[in-house]
Structure 1
Amino acid sequence: MGSGYSGTATRPVPYLRGTFPFGCAREMRADPLGLLLRARADLGDLVKMHLGPYPIYMLFRPEHVEHVLQKNPANYLKDGYEHLEPMVGHGLISSEGELWRRQRRLIQPAFHKKRLDGMARTMTDATEATLDRWRERLRAGDDVLDANAEMSRLTLEIVGRALFGSALGGEASRGEEALSLVFRLGFDRAGRFLQIPFGVPTPKNLRYRRGIRDMDEIVRSMLEARRDAGPSNGEDPMGGDLLDMLLAAHETGNGEGISEKQLRDEVLTIMGAGYETTARTLCWTFYLLDRHPEAARGLRDELGHILGGRTPTVEDLPRLPYTRMVLQESMRLFPPVWGLSRRLKETDRVDGARIPRGNRVIISAYVTHRHPDLWPEPERFDPERFRDATLMDRPPRDMPRYAYFPFSGGPRGCVGVNFAAMEAALVLATVAQSFTLSVAPGHHIKPEPSFTLRPSNGLPVKLHEIA
Structure 2
Amino acid sequence: MTITTDKPKLTVPGPNPLPIFGRIIPLVGYIRDSIDLSRCLFKKYGSVVSLVAGGGTNLYSSEDYCPGTVLAYGSENVREVTSQHEVYHKYPLTGGLYRQRNDSPRTETLKHFGVGLFGVNSKTHRQHRQLLMPAFHRQRIESYCDDIVAITQSVLEQLPVGKAINLCEVMRTLTLRVATKTLFGADIGDEGGNSAKLLQKIGALLGSPAIAILPFDVPGLPFHRLLSLMAQLDDEMRTLIRQKQASQEDSKDVLSMLIQARDAESGLGLTEDELLGHVSVIFAAGHETSANALTWTLFLLSQHPQIAANLLDELENVLQGAPPTVEKLQQLSLLERVIKESLRILPPVPWNARVTSQPTSLGGYELPTGTEVFVSIYHTHHLPEIFPHPERFDPTRWESKEPTMYEYNPFSAGSRICIGAPFALMEIKIVLAMLLMQYRLQYISQQSLEREALIVMAPKYGMQMLINKQDRQFTKGVGGVRGNVCEMVELNN
Question: Do Structure 1 and Structure 2 share a fold, with TM-score over 0.5?
Answer: yes
Gaps of 5+ in 2: 1-10, 58-67, 99-109, 472-493
Question: Which residue type is aligned with residue 321 of structure 1?
Answer: S
Matches within 5 A, 1:206-225: 206-213=224-231, 215-216=233-234, 219=237, 222-223=240-241
Does 1:179 find its partner at 2:199? yes
Separation (CA, whole Å) in 2 of partners of 1:80 and 1:446: 28
The correspondence for 1:108, drawn from 125, 133, 152, is: 133
Q: Secondary structure at the match of 2:70?
A: strand
In 1, Cα distance between the equivalents of 2:113 and 2:262? 17
> Contact conserved, 1:337 with 1:365, CA < 8 A, in 2?
yes
Call closer, same or farther: CA 1:336–1:190 in 2, change over 3 Å.
Answer: farther
Structure 1 residues 52-451: aligned runs within 5 Å: 53-54=56-57, 55-70=68-83, 72-79=84-91, 81-83=93-95, 86=110, 88-134=113-159, 137-138=160-161, 143-166=163-186, 178-188=198-208, 192=212, 195-197=214-216, 199-213=217-231, 215-216=233-234, 219=237, 222-223=240-241, 226=244, 230-232=248-250, 240-249=252-261, 256-388=268-400, 396-397=401-402, 399-451=403-455
Please say if residues 29 and 191 of structure 1, whose CA atoms lie closer than 8 Å, have aligned partners that are also in contact.
no
The question of 1:22 aligning with 2:41 is answered no
Classify 1:424/1:169 alpha carbon distance in 2 versus 1 (closer, same or farther; 3 Å): farther
- Counterpart of 1:196, as a letter, is P
For the Cα contact (< 8 Å) 1:157–1:169, is it kept in 2? Answer: no
**What SS class does the counterpart of residue 117 from structure 2 fall into?**
coil
Structure 1 runs, 4 residues or longer, greater than 6 Å off? 167-173
What's the CA shift string for 1:190-212, capped at 9, x where partnerless?
Answer: 995x6523x33342123323543
Shift in Å at residue 401 of structure 1? 3.0
Distance in 1 between residues matched to 2:239 and 2:440, nearest whole Å? 36
1:457 to 461, 481, 485: 461
Shift of 1:433: 0.7
Conserved 8 A contact 1:232-1:244:
yes
SS of the equivalent of 1:402 reads coil
1:35 aligns with 2:37: yes
Percent pairwise identity: 29
Change in Cα spacing, 1:17 to 1:453, as seen in structure 2 (3 Å) is: same
| SS in structure 2 of the partner of residue 303 of structure 1 | helix
Distance apart, 1:317 and its partner CA: 1.9
Cα distance in 2 for residues equivalent to 1:413 and 1:190: 31
Contact 1:58 1:363 in 2 (8 A): yes
Conserved 8 A contact 2:82-2:413? yes
**Tell me, what secondary structure is at the counterpart of 1:319?**
coil
Distance of aligned partners of 1:307 and 1:179 in 2 relative to their CA distance in 1, 3 Å threshold: same
Q: CA deviation at 1:214?
A: 5.5
Q: Distance in 2 between matches of 1:176 and 1:150?
A: 15
Secondary structure in structure 2 of the residue aligned to 1:27: helix
On the 8 A contact 2:250/2:257 being kept in 1, the answer is no
Relative to structure 1, the CA distance from residue 462 to residue 222 in structure 2 (aligned partners, 3 Å threshold; closer, same or farther) is: farther
Give the Cα separation in 2 of the matches to 1:176 and 1:435.
28
Kindly indicate whether the alpha-carbon contact (under 8 Å) linking 1:219 and 1:264 is maintained by their aligned counterparts in 2.
Answer: yes
- Cα distance, 1:437 vs structure 2: 1.6
Kept in 2: contact 1:157–1:168 (CA 8 A): no
How many angstroms apart in 1 are the aligned matches of 2:398 and 2:285? Answer: 25
Deviation at 1:280, TM superposition (A): 1.0
Q: Distance in 2 between matches of 1:42 and 1:171?
A: 52
- Residue pair 1:153, 1:176 contacting (<8 A) in 2 also: no
Report Cα offsets for 1:293-335 as digits up to 9, x if no partner: 2221121111111112111111112211111111111111221
* SS of equivalent to 1:378: coil
Task: Give a deviation string over 1:399-449, Cα, whole Å, max 9, x none.
Answer: 343111100111111111111111111111111111122233432111112
Q: Quote the residue 1:236 is aligned against.
A: none
Q: Could you report, residue by residue, the CA deviation over 1:224-283 in whole angstroms, capped at 9, with x for unpaired residues? A: 6645755136xxxxxx4422222224999x771322222222222212212121111001
1:384/1:172 CA distance change after superposition, 3 Å: farther
Amino acid in the other structure paired with 2:184 = F
- Secondary structure of the residue that 1:88 maps to in structure 2? coil
Q: Which moved more, 1:307-316 or 1:156-165?
A: 156-165
> 1:264 and 1:357, CA in 2 relative to 1: closer, same or farther beyond 3 A?
closer
* Aligned-residue RMSD, C-alpha: 2.9
Cα displacement string for residues 76-97 of structure 1 (whole angstroms, at most 9, x for unaligned residues): 1124634375372532222223
Distance 1:191 1:372 in 2: 38
Preserved CA contact (<8 Å) 1:344 1:357: yes
- Cα 1:213–1:434 change in 2 (3 A) is farther
Is 119-128 or 77-86 further displaced after alignment?
77-86
Verify the 8 A CA contact 2:195 2:237 in the aligned structure 1. Answer: no
CA distance in 1: counterparts of 2:223 and 2:347, whole angstroms: 29
* Cα distance in 1, alignment partners of residues 116 and 52 from structure 2: 30
TM-score normalized by the length of structure 1? 0.84
Distance 1:249 1:56, change over 3 A: same
Distance 1:280 1:218, change over 3 A: farther
Equivalent position of 1:237 in the other structure: none
Q: What is the match of residue 7 of structure 1?
A: none
| 2:170 maps to amino acid | E
Structure 1 unmatched ranges of 5 or more: 1-11, 234-239, 389-395
